[in-house]
A and B are shown apart, each in its own frame.
Chain A
């Protein structure tokens, strides 16, 4: 239990990730719940759960770039693709194991991200957004046309991972791999933001001239931010490719980039937790809408077609309303709810 207000008396307390024993217990429960979930849900729902966990990795990556360093990127979808194709090439065409493919995917994508991040030295804001949009188109074109490596229009069939004879063939076993990787990467990102590098990212975001005057090498940190962010995208893409067992150019279009951007905006820019909330929200919302509209359709056959057609519009509408009424994202709302209960009933 924590009383109203924070009483931090040492620097160690100031940098704690889990501030109180209560939070630690909650996190413990969350961990157990995540480990137990694959046994409680199956089929379609397990698949959606897995997609959420993969999206968390990609969203955290994009948040490092956009939320923490202030570089807008519209190329996240293509960077996921670079990761997926790299791992597909390494595992399916070179015959190396998954455990080599995924880290390699991260590294190759980091390299690609650094190359496409070079314009960030001179461009910022909208200009940089368009430059990264160009990376989306260039990479998509490469996926489709570099046939010896990417399989061209035919795509690549990729295997699921195996370890000493055991193949992680089912969605359940594969989910655990994804979960562990995601947990490690989220923890790493959280810690990164508390280091010198993370502080430099935020300084660049908040006021790049001030940052430069303070002695921060802006170019270095911008490129580094692109590298770290793309590493996350690469790993997420590789995991996605292996989850689907198939990689093709149609999976990494501009719409994927936009969905990821929406995730971090809705979740909360500059917040690791926000990326998680955003990923959960953006993956679950279409599914929820489908359930509602099909239910409407079966109960009232007359409006079935309209209900299904409405889905896209409702989806867009919800996002717009969200941006108007909750511009700081879900992470901010969560903070407000916590504060409300902490201070209750004396809210002043």
Chain B
């Protein structure tokens, strides 16, 4: 047994060395920080797999103008310190870009990536990351949290038939992720003529939300926005059903996905989510490739990971051409900022545009609703690209 282990580990080591040699000839180094086993692993894993799957596909089909992408996934388990340590390693390895994940670590790294000039594509969609004045090297490929909230508000206002002003309440956890879109959202809700009620806080780890929802019931809110993640959102929906609330719930991008019916047990019926992609198997041009690579159905987060890597691959291709094969971080950033209506094959709700003064990819959001346990796309809402909304 010992001998076999020895042989196995030697073979593994040899394999690693060989693959290293094979890569070092012509490859582009890219970093990836993912949460597979940490507290956000349930959504982090499909996202990271989407990123990796598109990379594998590109490497198998010509790579970046003939060069392979060398991108190893690092599981930082949502631990900010681990993320920073790994980032330092990536910097040492001279990566030209990084695919990232959560809010805490993306924000902690914002100062670094702009000082070190390494483009960083995150899955944290905080609006302030779209302002190049504050975060020149941060990018992402979905509508930011505040834009998504505004789109949801607009959709609800359009579907409001009664004469009186609709009442709305914001339910969110007391963490940066929950708070960041509130200011912009409240302002826009007032602008649209909503009657904005006082906020409610429900923790990300909450196992019940009765007192908060009783308060929502007493206030008589017509709509409630939820800024949590899937677990806390399911708790809110369940308790709302138990208390017999008539309120219509709509959630942020991480609040509701295909796993919600399992968590909420029927209470999700009629709840809305402002999604940043289509669903697996939808009839859009880009889906053909995705379904041919990934045969088993996936959640929307997987598709967003795929799209995020799509954006990076396109930027690497452009940067490679522009620099004659000597890709650098700033070259990738410049390449990203040449994106004008870049088409993801309909996987994302809009076409992607980045400029040197505006890193908002698009202003569109797919509003989805739960009908009989299935997510149904109700409408794609597109907002104007207003300058005063940048970073707010």
Q: Tell me if A157 is interfacial: C-beta within 8 Å of chain B.
A: yes
- Provide the bound-state CA to CA distance between A141 and B173, in Å: 12
Q: A157-B110, A245-B112, A249-B176 are in contact. Are A43 and B88 (CB under 8 A)?
A: yes
- Provide the bound-state CA to CA distance between A299 and B16, in Å: 10
Q: Tell me if A246 is interfacial: C-beta within 8 Å of chain B.
A: yes
Q: Tell me if B84 is interfacial: C-beta within 8 Å of chain A.
A: yes
B residues near A244, Cβ cutoff 8 Å? 84, 108, 111-112
Q: List 19 A-B contacts (CB under 8 A).
A: A42-B92, A144-B174, A152-B179, A153-B180, A154-B176, A244-B84, A245-B115, A246-B109, A248-B104, A249-B176, A250-B103, A250-B108, A251-B80, A290-B82, A298-B16, A299-B12, A300-B9, A305-B36, A308-B75
Q: 3 closest pairs, A vs B, by CB?
A: A245-B111, A43-B92, A153-B176
- Are A250 and B104 within 8 A (Cβ)? yes
- Provide the bound-state CA to CA distance between A309 and B175, in Å: 25
Binding site for B on A (CB under 8 A): 42-44, 46-48, 51, 141, 144, 152-155, 157-158, 160, 169, 171, 244-246, 248-251, 286-287, 290, 298-300, 305, 308-309, 311
A306's closest neighbor in chain B, by CB? B37
Q: Tell me if B230 is interfacial: C-beta within 8 Å of chain A.
A: no
Measured CB to CB, the closest approach of chain A to B177, in angstroms, equals 8
B182's closest neighbor in chain A, by CB? A153
Measured CB to CB, the closest approach of chain B to A285, in angstroms, equals 12
A residues near B70, Cβ cutoff 8 Å? none
A141's closest neighbor in chain B, by CB? B174
Partner of A250, one of B82, B84, B86, B175: B175
Contact with A along B350-376 (1 / 0, CB 8 A): 000000000000000000000000000
- Are B107 and A246 within 8 A (Cβ)? yes
Measured CB to CB, the closest approach of chain B to A158, in angstroms, equals 7
- Are B179 and A144 within 8 A (Cβ)? yes
Measured CB to CB, the closest approach of chain A to B136, in angstroms, equals 11
A245's closest neighbor in chain B, by CB? B111
Partner of A47, one of B88, B103, B114: B88
- Provide the bound-state CA to CA distance between A157 and B131, in Å: 13
A residues near B13, Cβ cutoff 8 Å? 299
- Provide the bound-state CA to CA distance between A290 and B82, in Å: 9
- Provide the bound-state CA to CA distance between A250 and B102, in Å: 12
Within 8 A of A (CB), among B75-113: 75, 77, 80-82, 84-86, 88-89, 91-92, 103-104, 107-112
A residues near B75, Cβ cutoff 8 Å? 308
Most chain A C-beta atoms within 10 Å of own C-beta, residue among B12, B88, B111: B111
- Are B111 and A246 within 8 A (Cβ)? yes
Partner of A248, one of B36, B89, B108: B108
Measured CB to CB, the closest approach of chain A to B133, in angstroms, equals 10
- Provide the bound-state CA to CA distance between A293 and B45, in Å: 19
Q: A47-B84, A246-B111 are in contact. Are A154 and B180 (CB under 8 A)?
A: yes
- Provide the bound-state CA to CA distance between A300 and B36, in Å: 18
A158's closest neighbor in chain B, by CB? B111
Most chain A C-beta atoms within 10 Å of own C-beta, residue among B37, B104, B107: B107
A-B contact count (CB 8 A): 90
Within 8 A of A (CB), among B108-133: 108-112, 114-115, 126, 128
A residues near B115, Cβ cutoff 8 Å? 160, 169, 245
Measured CB to CB, the closest approach of chain A to B319, in angstroms, equals 24
Q: A248-B176, A250-B175 are in contact. Are A48 and B85 (CB under 8 A)?
A: yes
- Are B12 and A144 within 8 A (Cβ)? no
Q: Tell me if B219 is interfacial: C-beta within 8 Å of chain A.
A: no
Partner of A246, one of B36, B110, B175: B110
Q: Tell me if B205 is interfacial: C-beta within 8 Å of chain A.
A: no
Q: A47-B85, A246-B107, A250-B176 are in contact. Are A154 and B36 (CB under 8 A)?
A: no
B111's closest neighbor in chain A, by CB? A245
B residues near A249, Cβ cutoff 8 Å? 176
- Provide the bound-state CA to CA distance between A176 and B81, in Å: 21
- Provide the bound-state CA to CA distance between A309 and B79, in Å: 13
- Are A298 and B12 within 8 A (Cβ)? yes
A residues near B82, Cβ cutoff 8 Å? 286, 290
Q: A48-B85, A244-B84, A308-B77 are in contact. Are A250 and B107 (CB under 8 A)?
A: yes
Q: Tell me if B134 is interfacial: C-beta within 8 Å of chain A.
A: yes
Measured CB to CB, the closest approach of chain B to A130, in angstroms, equals 20
Q: With A44-B92, A250-B107 given, can you name 4 additional A-B contacts, CB distance below 8 Å?
A: A43-B89, A154-B134, A287-B85, A305-B37
B residues near A299, Cβ cutoff 8 Å? 9, 12-13
B residues near A251, Cβ cutoff 8 Å? 80, 108
- Provide the bound-state CA to CA distance between A44 and B85, in Å: 5
- Provide the bound-state CA to CA distance between A223 and B91, in Å: 44
A249's closest neighbor in chain B, by CB? B176
Measured CB to CB, the closest approach of chain B to A7, in angstroms, equals 47
Most chain B C-beta atoms within 10 Å of own C-beta, residue among A158, A290, A308: A290
- Provide the bound-state CA to CA distance between A244 and B83, in Å: 12
- Provide the bound-state CA to CA distance between A171 and B115, in Å: 12
- Provide the bound-state CA to CA distance between A346 and B118, in Å: 61
Most chain B C-beta atoms within 10 Å of own C-beta, residue among A154, A286, A308: A154
- Provide the bound-state CA to CA distance between A171 and B37, in Å: 30
B174's closest neighbor in chain A, by CB? A144
- Provide the bound-state CA to CA distance between A48 and B88, in Å: 10
- Provide the bound-state CA to CA distance between A157 and B103, in Å: 15
B residues near A152, Cβ cutoff 8 Å? 179
- Are A44 and B80 within 8 A (Cβ)? no
A residues near B81, Cβ cutoff 8 Å? 51, 286
- Are B104 and A44 within 8 A (Cβ)? no
- Provide the bound-state CA to CA distance between A208 and B9, in Å: 61
B residues near A286, Cβ cutoff 8 Å? 81-82
- Provide the bound-state CA to CA distance between A299 and B11, in Å: 10
B175's closest neighbor in chain A, by CB? A250
- Provide the bound-state CA to CA distance between A160 and B104, in Å: 21
Partner of A44, one of B88, B111, B174: B88
B110's closest neighbor in chain A, by CB? A246
Measured CB to CB, the closest approach of chain A to B115, in angstroms, equals 6
- Provide the bound-state CA to CA distance between A298 and B110, in Å: 30
- Provide the bound-state CA to CA distance between A314 and B203, in Å: 28
Measured CB to CB, the closest approach of chain B to A1, in angstroms, equals 42
B residues near A246, Cβ cutoff 8 Å? 107-112
